[in-house]
Chain A
Amino acid sequence: MADELTWKDLEVGNIIKEAGNASFRETGDWRTEKPILDKEKCVKCALCWIYCPDAAIKPSEEGYYESDLYYCKGCGICASICPERAITMIAEEEK
C-alpha cells in the first residue's frame, strides 16, 4: 500500500486522518498454530477475549468468544489461560 503512494498523496506533516486504519492489515499470516474452540467445553467466561494481545478474539452472537483468523497471530495465550481447556492450538496447514 505505502509503495503506491506518491508525495502528493501525503497529508501535511504526514498526519493520518483515518483513525485505526491499521485494522485493514492482515496479521493472521504470521501464524504457525491456530486456536480451535470446543464450544461444548466453553463457559463463555471471556478470559480469552480480555487476554488477547491482538484484539483478535471477538464476542459472537451466541455469546461465545471466537478468534478472527485475519488478525490472530497464534500466540496461544487464549489456550494457555482457558480455565476449561476449551481451546487447543493446532498446527497451521500449509497454504
Chain B
Amino acid sequence: MSQRVALEASHAVAEAVRMADVDVISAYPITPQTHIPERLAEMVANGELNAAYIPVESEHSALSTCLGAAAVGARTFTATAGQGLELMHEVVYIASSMRYPVVMAVCNRALSAPLNVWGDHSDAMAVRDTGWIQVFCQNGQEAFDLTLWAFRVGEDPKVLFPVMVHLDGFTLSHVTEPVILPEQSEVDRFLPRFQYPFALDPDKPMTHGAFGPPDIYSETKLAQEVAFRKSKKVILQGWQEFGDIFHRYYHPVEEYKTEDAQTLLLTMGAFTETAKIVIDERRDKGESIGLISLRLWRPFPFEEFRQAVKGAKVLIVFDRCISFGLGGPVFAEIRSALYDEEPRPKVVGIIGGLGGRDMSEEDFDYVINRGREIAEKGSDRILETVNIR
C-alpha cells in the first residue's frame, strides 16, 4: 500500500531518489538545497540506500563526478541551487551535449550580488538554453513525482538527456506537506534499470567527448537539437505511464479554470498555488479569469501552450527573474511563442518575488489589475514590477 506521510519537499526528493535505487550521488552543500543531500547521505549511512555518496569539493566537481559515473552506466543524482548552479554552468552544457542522463534537483535561488540565499528563478533562467529537460514543481507531491519521472524519461534509450527538476528555494524546498509515497513494487514497475548503451568498457572501447572542429561541430549541434525536440514524445509517454500506475496525471502545461477565460495569468513554480487562490476568489465573483502554469519548461511545449491560451484576450506573465536589458525572460519567450498565432492574446509581463520577496494574494491581485491596465493602455515604465519599492 502506498502511504500518505508529512514530508518536507526536499525530503520528498530524497525519497524519490532512494526509491529509484540511484547508484551514485555527488553533491556540494548550498542553501537552500542542503536538506536533499543531507537526507541522502543519511540514507546511505543507514543502509536505506545502496549507493555511493561522494562529498565533493565543489558543485563543478559534483556534476563532473556524475558524468564519470553515468559514463560507466550508473544511475546518478545531484542537487544544487543559485551560485552552485552557476559554478557548474559549463558542466551543465557538457551533460546534455554528451547525453548523460543525470537527474538534478535545483532549489531555485537568487544570484549574487548582493549575496542572497532565498528564492527566485534567476538560476533557472541562466541555464534555460543548456539542453536539459526542465520541469517546475508546485508542491511536495510534484517534487517526489517529477524526480522519479525524471529518471524514467532521461534514461530512456530514445532520450538520453539530463533532467533538471526545479523547486522553489524555501517556499517549496523547506515546506512540509502531505506526500503520497508509493510501494517500491510500483516504482520498480514504472522505472526500469538504467541500461546505458555506450558504457565505457575495456571490451568495447569507445571514445566519449571527442572534439568537434568547424567541419563537424554544426552537425553535432543539429543532431542534439533534433534529439532533444524528439524527447517530447517520451516525456508525454512517461507522464501517461506514471498516471496509469500512480493515478496522478501530469501535463506540460497545467490549466486552471481556463475555460472561456478572457484573462489568463501565467506563473511557474510554487507561487502558482497562491495565485490559484486569487483565481478562485475572482471566479467566485464571476470574473472571466484563469491560470496556466508551465510544468515543462524545456523542451518548450509550444503546441500545448498555444492550445491553452486560445481564446484569451489578455495573458499576464509573472516572472521571478530579470533578464537585464530585456525584461522578464519567461514573458519574452511567451510573447515570441505566440507571434505567429492569429488571433492571439495581448501579452504583458510583470516581475516580482525576487530574492525571497514573498508574493501575497494581494500582490497577485495587483498583478492581475495592473496587467489588464497595461494590456489596454500600454506601459511607459522601464520595468513593470510588483511589490518592489
Contacts and interface: CB of A to CB of B under 8 A. Distances in A.
A and B, direct touch (CB closer than 8 Å): yes
Contacts of B198: 11-13, 15
A16 B206 CA distance: 6
Contact of B98 (A5, A6, A7, A13): A13
A5 B207 contact: no
A91 interface: no
Contacts of A7: 219-220, 222-223, 226
B388 interface: no
B215 A2 contact: yes
Q: Which of A9, A11, A13, A16 has the most CB of B within 10 A?
A: A13
User: What size tier do the contact residues of chain A reach?
Assistant: 10 to 19
Contacts of A3: 215-216
Interface string A8-50: 1111111111010000000000000000000000000000000
B220 A12 contact: no
Contacts of B226: 7
Given A3-B215, A19-B206, A13 B99 contact: yes
A9 B226 CA distance: 13
Contact of A12 (B204, B216, B227): B227
Q: Which of B98, B223, B227 has the most CB of A within 10 A?
A: B223
A19 B202 CA distance: 11
Nearest to B160: A12
A2 B216 contact: yes
Contacts of A16: 206-207, 210
A2 B207 CA distance: 16
Given A12-B99, A12-B198, A12-B227, A17 B206 contact: yes
B203 to A, nearest CB: 11
A8 B227 CA distance: 10
Contacts of B215: 2-3
B205 interface: yes
Contacts of B100: 13
Given A13-B98, A13-B99, 18 more contacts: A2-B216, A3-B215, A3-B216, A5-B219, A7-B219, A7-B226, A8-B223, A11-B198, A12-B99, A12-B197, A12-B198, A13-B100, A13-B160, A14-B209, A14-B212, A14-B220, A16-B210, A19-B206
Interface of A: 2-3, 5-17, 19
9 closest residue pairs by CB, A with B: A13-B99, A16-B207, A7-B223, A7-B222, A19-B205, A7-B219, A2-B216, A3-B215, A13-B98
9 contacts: A3-B215, A6-B219, A7-B219, A10-B223, A13-B97, A13-B100, A13-B160, A14-B223, A17-B206
